[in-house]
């Protein structure tokens, strides 16, 4: 019978928890990028420039946060 090496259950649980939160956060941020871009396009076509600017700003901010999360994740994987 193969013996299982001792593992730190707390550390393993932390990895699972952080991975789940990071995955949901990155997916949600990219969803806001798509939503903001689509709504900005619709508003611009309808002639509502203020709403188009607001939605485009939402898309840009969400993309910046998304990119920062990806960079942080890659940096963390490469340094550990």
Predicted pLDDT of residue 8: 78
Inform me whether the pLDDT recorded for 56 exceeds 80: yes
Q: Check residue 47 and give left, alpha or beta (phi > 0: left; psi -120 to 50: alpha).
A: left
pTM of the model: 0.79
Predicted pLDDT of residue 11: 82
Token couple for 54: 């607001």
Tell me if residue 34 falls in helix, strand or coil: helix
Inform me whether the pLDDT recorded for 1 exceeds 70: no
Token couple for 65: 């946060």
């Amino acid at each position: 019978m193969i013996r299982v090496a001792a593992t730190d259950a707390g550390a393993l649980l932390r990895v699972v928890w952080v991975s789940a939160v990071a995955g949901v956060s990155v997916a949600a941020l990219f969803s806001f990028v798509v939503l903001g871009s689509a709504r900005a396009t619709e508003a611009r076509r309808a002639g509502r420039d203020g709403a188009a600017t607001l939605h485009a700003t939402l898309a840009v901010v969400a993309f910046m946060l998304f990119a920062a999360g990806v960079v942080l994740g890659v940096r963390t994987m490469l340094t550990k």
